[in-house]
Amino acid sequence: MSLANVVVIGAQWGDEGKGKITDLLSRSADMVVRYQGGVNAGHTIVVDEKVLKLHLIPSGILYPETICLIGSGTVVDPKVMLLEIDMLLENNIDISGLQIASNAHVTMPYHRLLDQAMEQQRGAQKIGTTGRGIGPTYADKAQRNGIRIIDLLNEQRLRERLTGPLAEKNELLKTIYGVEPLKADKVIEEYLSYGERISPHVVECSRAIHTAARNKKNILFEGAQGTLLDLDHGTYPFVTSSNPVSGGACIGAGVGPTLIDRVIGVAKAYTTRVGEGPFPTELEGSINDQLCDRGGEFGTTTGRRRRCGWFDGVIGRYAVEVNGLDCLAITKLDVLDELEEIKVCVAYELNGNRIEHFPSSAEDFAKCKPIFKSLPGWQCSTEDCRRLEDLPSTAMNYLRFLAELMEVPIAIVSLGASRDQTILVEDPIHGPKRALLNS
């Protein structure tokens, strides 16, 4: 069996079910690398009827032999990460394979306070951030004013690095937002205690990955959020503060593109997004409620109710292009089981013209009206299907239509939250690239 290094990305606005797919693919991986985002991401995994919710730690941690590396492109809230570590230990899950990049940036308490204050001040123009301090952490990183994991391991270095930023942030919090300033000694004491606990897991990110690559290990790169939330290529300004697209794996992990063998996209059988921003296929009324309730569409990180809509083939094709997708995993097909009719957006109408591409202008995107193709539903349960032959013919036709519309084959079909509720059409890592469900 040939080896492969694989990137898994979200092909919509996030919340596509990447956690389950990453968990599935981690069985073939020696190392799983989370390459961007922070605790604004979240994924739910069901193991032996136990529901585990993770925000930073890759789902590959469930496999004792798998190294799980939080890469340098992530921003780490050590308080949240330690809560996850404790949760895993309470469930008797071995965390000896957990590694944290020494040069990953740290979300500090002033980042959370600023994030929440700025979002509140935006009022009607709010972006819909999670309020977890992700944007301000990345802003400090870009301004070369950030605190990194390695700084938490040395009191003198942390004190020196924190003095300027904390003074600046306290002035902002007090003068602009009317928020009580933070005390330096208290922050230093708290974060040094975090550093002490995580120090056994700290590694040099790029070196760890390249050592694994030289030893012919399988490496799985895991993105957070989704393509349409990408800072450069998403529905700006309603985006995250990093690059979830596949190219972000190279920067956030410290590897060259020649190390990547395959890119797998994850998409729901319908579309959701959380927070603000245009959403052409968004539904209202009973069908929206039905999708939300059957799909359990509530954010892992915030608990916010997700907005639901029909599958959008325009953003799907865009995701295929900007990520260079080799194949797709379609999740939550079972959520559509009860519907008599299912619609798929095949194009948009913009200013009276039909367009089949994703517009870069947020104003144009907000004006886009979906052009739908209607397909018959199957109106029977698919939850117990474990092979393609078990699926109703109309469900198979729906999957074929999506594959043809997006011009990329489907390798995995997920029909529920549990590990076993999955149809593996073809080995997505080692199978032939174009010989999957595509016709």
Which residues are known catalytic residues? 15, 43
Q: Which two tokens stand for residue 166?
A: 């904390």
CA angle 20, 23, 28 (to 5 degrees): 140
Give the other-Cβ count within 10 Å of 300's Cβ: 15
What are the residues facing 85 on neighbouring strands? Answer: none
CA-to-CA dists, residue 21 to 9, 125, 373, angstroms: 10, 35, 28
Nearest to 112 by CA among 128, 129, 127, 132: 132
Q: Which two tokens stand for residue 359?
A: 């517009």
Looking up tokens 């050592």 gives 211
CA distance 14 to 127: 15
Q: Which two tokens stand for residue 404?
A: 């043809």
Q: Which two tokens stand for residue 6?
A: 């694989």
Residue type, 328: L
Residue type, 270: Y
* CB of 393 closer than 8 Å to CB of 375: no
CA distance 5 to 31: 10
CA distance 430 to 230: 28
Q: Where are the beta strands (DSSP E) in 20-121?
A: 31-34, 43-47, 50-54, 67-70, 75-76, 98-101, 105-106
The answer for residues whose C-beta is within 8 angstroms of residue 279's C-beta and 6 or more apart is 271, 273, 307, 309
DSSP 156: H
